[in-house]
Amino acid sequence: MEAFEKIIGNEDAKTYFKKAVRENQLSHGYIFEGAYGVGKNTFATELAKLILCEQKEGDRPCNQCKSCSMINAGTHPDVIQIEKDTKVTKVETIRENIVREMDIKPYQSDYKIIIVKAADSMSVQGQNAILKTIEEPPSYGIIILVCENLSSLLPTIKSRCIVVRFNPIQKEQMRDYLQRKGITGIQQEVLEKLSNGSIGVINDILEDETYLEIRKQSINYLDRLEKAQIMELYEIVKEMTEDKENIERILEFWLLWYRDIAVVKATNNDDVYYKDYQQQLLDMSSKLTYNKVSQNIEFIKSAILDVRQNIYSTFVIENLLLKLKERKK
């Protein structure tokens, strides 16, 4: 199998690493930066297979040798993948799994490869703990820091690593991916837009049986709110706050809805997240001014922040719905 064959997109990164491995010009430190779900972690694992594959002739990685099989199974002693502990990757995790491990020579390969997932979750202390390892790596060491937010990493770390940018998947590639999964028509267009070029987002949506149902419910709430008298408004508040674990998701769907209304009012094009609700978008956009749409977007953003800060949800949603219901220009 050709290297990175199963990975969609990011052809420049594929070409770069094939050449680097072929010509033995690998760096000791890389930063893989890009949005969630564009294939950074998968690419890092496939790169480890390519580097450590025991096949000397033909396509690499072979996916058959002992090294490839162990990496596929997650049991290769010279490939260490570090997951985020909680909201941050703890200093102890860094010291134990990077600093100390890198001091130990490879068990069965020419290289020891450490892949740090969600590297932007490392605290300043954690980043400082690995700085010397990155500055003075052993000849066999390769560290790959995977992140979404490059600015969260210290300048001293960024300056000592090669940054590889992973871009969103192109529309044509995303369309092909969805079609291979048997998804076509309006559903394909909706999922393609919701993905924002991320295979990971698509897979999360398809694996979450509640996602599209909650999306539908979020629009149902807005339809009801538009026609609601005061008692009906408080009934919506009650229903939403009883479903606490989905409040933030509903509000995020509302943000996309009002973003779409702004797009429709400004350009009248169909590059929208709610392509399957176009008539409703047109109807509501005709009733709201630009100023009101902008206000509603800010109201919802503020409510999301309040929910994340654990402010009393009934108060937050009640206040939000009353503001959305206002007919101010």
Q: Which residues, including other chains, have CB under 8 Å from residue 264's CB and lie 6 or more apart?
A: 272, 281, 282, 285
**Which pLDDT band, with edges at 50, 70 and 90, does 328 fall under?**
low
With 70 as the cut, is the pLDDT of residue 287 above it? yes
- pLDDT of the residue at 295: 95
How many CB atoms sit inside 10 A of residue 184's CB? 11
pLDDT, one tens digit per residue, over 63-114 is 999 999 999 999 999 999 998 877 777 788 888 888 899 999 999 999 999 9
Phi and psi torsions of 115, nearest 5°: -110, 115
Distance CA 326, CA 229 (A): 12
Q: Which residues, including other chains, have CB under 8 Å from residue 233's CB and lie 6 or more apart?
A: 225, 321, 322, 325
- pLDDT of the residue at 256: 96
pLDDT, one tens digit per residue, over 195-246 is 999 999 999 999 998 999 999 999 999 999 998 888 999 999 999 999 889 9
Helix/strand/coil (H/E/C) assignment for every residue in 130-151: HHHHHHCCCCCEEEEEEECCHH
- pLDDT of the residue at 123: 87
Which of residues 87 and 49 earns the better pLDDT score?
Answer: 49
3-state class (DSSP) for residue 122: strand
pTM: 0.85
How many CB atoms sit inside 10 A of residue 183's CB? 17
Whole-number average pLDDT of the chain = 92
**Which pLDDT band, with edges at 50, 70 and 90, does 155 fall under?**
very high
What is the mean pLDDT of the segment spanning 134-162? 94
With 70 as the cut, is the pLDDT of residue 1 above it? no
Residue 146 C-alpha from the chain's centroid:
12
Phi and psi torsions of 193, nearest 5°: -70, -45
What is the mean pLDDT of the segment spanning 18-39? 94
- pLDDT of the residue at 98: 87
- pLDDT of the residue at 271: 85
With 70 as the cut, is the pLDDT of residue 145 above it? yes
**Which pLDDT band, with edges at 50, 70 and 90, does 58 fall under?**
confident
Q: What is the four-CA torsion angle of 37, 41, 42, 43, rounded to 10 degrees?
A: 110
- pLDDT of the residue at 77: 95
